[in-house]
Structure 1
């Protein structure tokens, strides 16, 4: 019997929405677990008895079921807040419900011995920006001169030691936590990579509150988004310097800059593949700078990064289909 694919994400994930029909078209009906509707819309059971283990999931609205022994591949896409059947849980009840749900669900999923795209332990190991920079240097990449510190004097000394500009770049999210609180409680929508002005340096004592990351600003010829899915590598050349809005931070999608397919030098491709494989991952989305002198500079890797926009901008990159095919090969 052919093994099945389990997709773990949330109901707002367009990536999962588009991969599901591709899998169905290839003869595989996946089981989708939307965490923002779990456990409200699902039943879970895990059993241990006389040396045997088993478990299953059931989607209540559709009555779709999957046994753990049927699963050959898991795509862990995006997290979400859990949903419970009772809407009036107290603060303590809600906190406990979340903790127990986490134990029940991941106690089941982490027991699976199958192919994963985005195994939670591997993704967690790969998400730390400081460790990424160290690993990239070990592979031969140049990385920007960087300091992460909550010591204002050390940040000032770093600034004085860099010949050009420096930038502030959030290590966790450019939303600065706005996505974690109710809209009425948000103080700012966030901040992207930002060149540090003299006015900001005058207020640098504020970093004493928490450690912040500062890097030398690297002049760019263009940027690269390198997406690795299984054995396939897709390199997108991003003409970020064509628009003032993307010169410092390429993430302003309102700017209609050019994206095009490109080929990496063999050594750079080797380093990118080795970087992702070193974590035991089947997926990675790496951001690189190419300087005016043609040097490749590593910025970061996104172990569960977005990739649909790359396919939309470069239609010849069949990323969704490659993802589906990789899951099916892994399940087989």
Structure 2
């Protein structure tokens, strides 16, 4: 029997990119099956059979769609929120173990599928390590800003002076904190001299410090296989986004414009994803007033859909083609 299904690992509140990619696959005779990870184990079922004769897995979605492992030729890993649907009043002593078992079962399901993965979970986890990706970015020839990751106040003070007092700080992971009942997302912030005497909390949580780069434009370059799709935004477009466009993210969606990257930068970004073991990545780049391209980071599962929705860059179609082709084609 011909394999004719693609499993999309996401969650029930994901954006319409799932539907657009699924429609492209349907036009090519392939059924996209949505695995809403937040609905496992409450509504989604997984049966993983391992015997001496072999293995067989069955996925049953909340809509009752059944998928045998032998029918799956590709998996698109996009979002992962196992056990989010567990009852809110479930005792913590049971909820924690249930969430961990659910995560491991889903990972076991994905790992046991003998198919192409865009991308493999463990490659994504490794590629998410900022120091690792910066090291590889340097090796492929991308230009980096001076960066320090540390829990040492002394190292930060030395870094501040070595970069003429012009540095910013950010976190390696995206998260928020709650203050007075309000969710406060942690964004990029400028370090001023008075802050140098307020670094004691680094012994509780290390941070990333980076030379502050003057911006002509900010770029988001989305790599899919051998293709690079790029959009740009003026950092002065909206007040409050000079250091981090995400601070005003919802207000910038229609402000991005298509941008043509120099071929050598595009080639290096593809080389970086190859080195990271990825077919997909979303890279953040700054273009300086001098025309320099400064690579900041690459997100293995970074968002892209707003660029497709407003600028029709063709990323959804490229993702569908990458899934159908089983990865990037040799060039």
Give the structure-2-normalised TM-score: 0.90
Picking from 270, 273, 282, the partner of 2:270 is: 273
Deviation at 1:262, TM superposition (A): 2.4
Q: Which residue of 1 aligns with 2:304?
A: 307
Q: CA deviation at 1:155?
A: 0.9
1:193 pairs with 2:188: yes
Q: CA deviation at 1:96?
A: 2.0
Q: Deviations over 1:272-325 (max 9, x none)?
A: 00111112211000111111111111100010000001112322x011122122
Unaligned runs of 5+ in 2: none
Deviations 1:153-200 (A, max 9, x none): 111111111125111111111x3355xxxxx98565123211112332
Distance in 2 (CA, whole Å) between partners of 1:310 and 1:187 is: 29
Displacement after TM superposition at 1:89 (Å)? 3.6
Alpha-carbon spacing, 1:148–1:275, altered in 2? closer, same or farther (3 Å) = same
Question: Deviation string for 1:110-166 (max 9, x for gaps)?
Answer: 012211112101100100112222221122222111211111111111111112511
SS in structure 2 opposite 1:310? helix
Deviation of 1:328 (Å): 2.4
SS of the aligned residue for 2:326 comes to: helix
Q: Distance in 2 between matches of 1:171 and 1:85?
A: 28
What's 2:315 paired with?
A: 319
Which runs of structure 2 are paired with 1:53-64 in the superposition (5 Å)?
Answer: 53-59=55-61, 61-64=62-65
Partner SS for 2:176: coil
Partners in 1 of 2:100 and 2:235 — Cα distance? 43
Describe the shift of the 1:97–1:160 C-alpha distance in structure 2 as closer, same or farther (beyond 3 A): same
Query: Which residue in the other structure is 1:181 paired with?
Result: none
Q: How far apart are residue 103 of structure 1 and its match?
A: 2.6
- Asked if 2 retains the 8 angstrom alpha-carbon contact of 1:245 and 1:255, the reply is no
How far residue 92 of structure 1 moved from its aligned partner, in angstroms, is 2.1
Residue 10 of structure 1 pairs with residue 11 of structure 2:
yes
Cα distance, 1:81 vs. partner? 3.9
Aligned partners of 1:76 and 1:119 also within 8 Å:
yes
- How big is the shift at 1:45? 1.2
How many Å apart are 1:239 and its aligned residue? 2.0
The whole-number CA distance in structure 1 between the counterparts of 2:92 and 2:57 is: 30
Find the aligned partners of 2:20 and 2:287 in 1 and give their Cα distance: 32
Aligned with 1:215: secondary structure?
Answer: strand
- Which residue does the alignment assign to 1:328? 324
Matched, 1:227 2:222: yes
2:22/2:32 contact within 8 Å kept: yes
Length-normalised TM-score, structure 1: 0.89
Q: CA deviation at 1:26?
A: 3.5
Q: Deviation per CA, 1:223-272, whole angstroms, max 9, x where unpaired?
A: 21110112321121222234442221122222477422222222211110
In structure 1, list runs of 5 or more residues that go unmatched.
Answer: 179-183
- In 2, the alpha carbon distance for the partners of 1:2 and 1:49 equals 22
Partner of 1:286: 283
SS at match of 1:292: coil
Q: What does 1:63-82 align with in structure 2 at a 5 Å threshold?
A: 63-82=64-83
Question: Residue 30 of structure 1: CA displacement?
Answer: 1.4
How big is the alpha-carbon RMSD for the aligned residues of Structure 1 and Structure 2? 2.3
Q: Which residue of 2 aligns with 1:116?
A: 117
Give me the whole-angstrom Cα distance separating, in 1, the residues matched to 2:243 and 2:194: 18
Q: What is the DSSP-based 3-state SS (H/G/I as helix, E as strand, rest coil) of the residue aligned with 2:67? A: strand
Count residues in correspondence.
Answer: 323
Question: Which is worse superposed, 263-272 or 96-105?
Answer: 96-105
The whole-number CA distance in structure 1 between the counterparts of 2:253 and 2:81 is 30
Q: Which residue of 1 aligns with 2:99?
A: 98
CA distance in 2, matches of 1:17, 1:170: 32
**Equivalent residues in 2 for 1:121-136 (5 A)?**
121-136=122-137
Is 1:238–2:240 an aligned residue pair?
A: no
Quick one: structure 1 residues 65 and 255, their matched pair in 2 at CA, closer, same or farther if it must change by over 3 Å? closer
